[in-house]
Amino acid sequence: MNRIRKLAQELVTKYPNLFSADFDKNKLALGQVSIIRSTSVRNQLAGAITSFVRENQPETGGESSEEEIAIPSETTAAAEEIREESREKSAEITQAAQ
């Protein structure tokens, strides 16, 4: 295991609530716990932390039931009504401008 990966693992173990699977947030978090003058080293370390966190996250399954993603027909009808009103107003404005 190289230095970067070993340090990433140590940091995640020491500060488990500070790091996440988001690379940019990990870069900022590194600034809170250390002083890294080299941008490339900081980015390598943040990337290794991100990879380590993603590898160790519990699986969520990834599938949603239809009830969770179903859109009620009333919502769809209301959205279509709003779109139609918007089109009519847009047509009125266009005609007034000509």
Domain span holding position 50 = 3-56
C-alpha–C-alpha distance, residues 6 and 4, integer Å: 5
Please state the domain count of the chain: 1
pLDDT tens digit sequence for 22-36: 999 999 999 888 888
pLDDT at 89: 75
Greater model confidence, 79 or 27: 27
In a domain? residue 71: no
Q: Which two tokens stand for residue 66?
A: 């239809």
What percent of the chain clears pLDDT 70, i.e. is strictly above it?
73
In a domain? residue 61: no
- Cα–Cα distances (Å) from 51 to 9, 33, 95, in that order, read 10, 19, 56
Query: What DSSP letter does each residue of 42-72 carry, written as one string?
Result: HHHHHHHHHHHHHHHSPP------HHHH---
In a domain? residue 45: yes
CA 65 to chain centre: 22
pLDDT at 1: 65
In a domain? residue 25: yes
pTM for the predicted model, two decimal places:
0.58
In a domain? residue 48: yes
DSSP 27: H
Domain of 44: which CATH number? 1.10.60.20
* Reported confidence tier of residue 59, pLDDT bands at 50, 70, 90: low
